[in-house]
Amino acid sequence: MERLVVISNRVAVPKARGVAGAQGGLSGALNAALKDHGGIWFGWSGQESEDPEGNIHLQRSDGVTTATIDLSARDIEEYYNGYANSTLWPLFHYRLDLTRYERETGKGYERVNERFADCVSPLIEPDDLIWVHDYHLLPLGERLRARGIANRIGFFLHIPWPPTRLFVSLPFHERLVRTMLEYDLIGFQTDEWRESFLHYCRKELGAEVEEATGTIRFEGRTAIARAYPIGIDWDHFQAQGASEEARHAEQRLLSSTRDRSAMIGVDRLDYSKGLPERIDGIGRFFDQHPDRVRDLVFIQIAPPSREDVESYQDIRMTLEQKAGQINGARSEVDLVPIRYVNRGYSHAELYGFFRAAKIGLVTPLRDGMNLVAKEYVAAQDRDDPGVLILSRFAGAAQQLAVDDTGAVLVNPYSPDDISHAIRVALDMPLAERRARYETMIGTIRDDNVQTWTRRFCDDLAATAGG
Ligand code: ADQ
């Protein structure tokens, strides 16, 4: 088996021996793949250092080698907070209104990609499979090729790929996509994003595109674009669910909500997750059904993220205001309709909260996949499952809503739609809840993060390479 070199913005260092396997999710799956194949995980340490040139920190733990570099304050500002999170993230989530185009941050992005390539190249051996992750590192493949790396290189985009009409608003869009065509395999979360990418390659670059196979031929090179919907770490999540911590969390939520149904939202505090719009939908439900205020309590768990980026600073305030207004208008001495918790919880605790909640409300305005939707369903009691209300604009909707069953789909921009879905979910008979659960659970269990890792690595190994 070929060695694997994973390259991503951040590296999740595996836990020390003894608690191996304690780590779940994407990092757990990548660590497991690295352990199987042998190899290296390379990325930013998350640390700032004023003279970071040349220093690679190598660490070997539980069979996996990690190699990390520090970045300077300027690199972090221009590459991470700037181009990655103030230009690419909003644009790729269809938010032209929040997208900033600054020449300096673009240069910083290119500089850090060059530095990644400089530092990782000497660690690469001739037959290694190289797997680059996400929007921080779109041009890295081309930077590696420029250093003579002829290995098979794959890339996976965790977020959506925007429609051509939006994407062309990015200065140097053509240059960026040309660099991506140096990858042998390009993975997207869904067919929709894959098709947007193929459309761009055909229309704007004039590449020869074979829709069915995703083959793109351009200037003598061939790249393949495919969809690989990411999944959860099913076994790890179920093991967390069997813990005392999960049971305790479930009991805690149940006893605090008593005879009311709990509805839950769990998200990073990010404008792509549609949180203010969600609160508007709940407000609309209470306006339309004042007699049902006593039936429902909404719990939103949203720890802050990317707090150095301006557009992220406003969202917390907006959310607190909106939740405060509804609570001000609707609270009684023994009842507060919305609980907003500004912190993260462990996966065991989340499992318990999900299981106690009759409704999971997942309404991103745009999302590559959304794993919270899958985790909510995975935590349900098969005999008495809750209802997943899911945005039609989340990648997960393509797997979880099938022919009017599975998740209850909503338009996250429409308060009326959200309000209607909440009423439908609250009143849904057991037989329908079970049928919807059965539609979703197979793909959530089987198309898990281990299957995803295996499919991508197998396909990459089967490409011609170079
Ligand atoms: P994210 O935007 O971070 O990821 P998501 O997939 O929903 O979105 O969540 C990732 C993980 O973070 C989940 O395991 C979830 O449990 C955890 N998480 C979220 N909120 C939490 C909270 N309040 N407390 C504790 N844990 C929390 C990006 C893309 C997604 C894509 C993933 C994986 O934006 O579309 O699904 O990568 O590819």
Condensed to tens digits (0 to 9), the pLDDT of residues 22-65 reads: 566 788 888 888 888 889 999 999 999 987 676 899 998 877 89
- H-helix or E-strand spanning residue 264: strand 261-266
For residue 6, what are the β-bridge partners?
41, 131
User: What is the b/e burial string over 134-143, where b = at least 16 CB atoms within 10 angstroms of the residue's CB?
Assistant: bbbbbbbbbb
Catalytic residue among 75, 184, 270, 367: 367
More confident: 34 or 75: 75
CA separation for the pair 193, 267 (Å, rounded): 22
pLDDT, tens digit, 9 for 90 and up, residues 197-250: 999 999 999 999 999 999 999 999 999 999 999 999 999 999 999 999 999 999
CB 319 within 8 A of CB 223: no
Beta-carbon contacts of residue 311 (< 8 Å; ≥ 6 apart): 86, 90, 98, 271
CB 39 within 8 A of CB 6: yes
CB 389 within 8 A of CB 361: yes
pLDDT, tens digit, 9 for 90 and up, residues 333-342: 888 999 999 8
Q: How many CB atoms lie within 10 A of CB 373?
A: 30
pLDDT of 72 > 50? The answer is yes
CA distances from 111 to 83, 108, 172 (A): 11, 5, 15
Nearest alpha carbon to residue 15 among 32, 36, 3: 32
Half-sphere CA count of 177, side-chain side, radius 13 A: 27
Beta-carbon contacts of residue 267 (< 8 Å; ≥ 6 apart): 273, 275, 300, 301, 302, 362, 364, 372
Q: How many CB atoms lie within 10 A of CB 56?
A: 14
Q: How many CB atoms lie within 10 A of CB 190?
A: 21
Catalytic residue among 158, 233, 236, 347: 158
CA separation for the pair 231, 132 (Å, rounded): 18
Nearest alpha carbon to residue 187 among 441, 464, 454, 398: 454
DSSP 3-state helix, strand, coil percentages of the chain (rounded to 5)? 50, 20, 30
- Report residue 466's pLDDT band, with 50, 70 and 90 as the boundaries: low
Q: What is the pLDDT averaged over residues 176-187? A: 98
For residue 10, what are the β-bridge partners?
44
What pLDDT is attached to residue 24?
63
Residue 268 alpha carbon to ligand 1 centre in Å: 7
Is 367 annotated in the active site?
Answer: yes
Q: Detail the DSSP E strand segments found in 51-147.
A: 57-61, 64-71, 129-133
> From the centroid of its chain, how far is CA 396?
10
> With pLDDT > 90 as the criterion, what percentage of the chain qualifies?
85
Nearest alpha carbon to residue 377 among 441, 464, 313: 441
Residue 123 alpha carbon to ligand 1 centre in Å: 30
Q: Report which protein residue has its CA nearest ligand 1's atom 38.
A: 158
CA separation for the pair 316, 48 (Å, rounded): 26
What pLDDT is attached to residue 22?
54
Ligand 1, from 267, 372, 388, 451: best to mutate by most atoms within 8 Å of Cβ? 372
State how beta strands 152-156 and 129-133 pair. Answer: parallel
Q: Report which protein residue has its CA nearest ligand 1's atom 33.
A: 158
pTM of the full structure: 0.96
Residue 371 alpha carbon to ligand 1 centre in Å: 6
Nearest alpha carbon to residue 59 among 28, 19, 15, 114: 15
CB 231 within 8 A of CB 444: yes
What pLDDT is attached to residue 54?
67
CA separation for the pair 268, 240 (Å, rounded): 20
Mean pLDDT estimate for the chain: 94
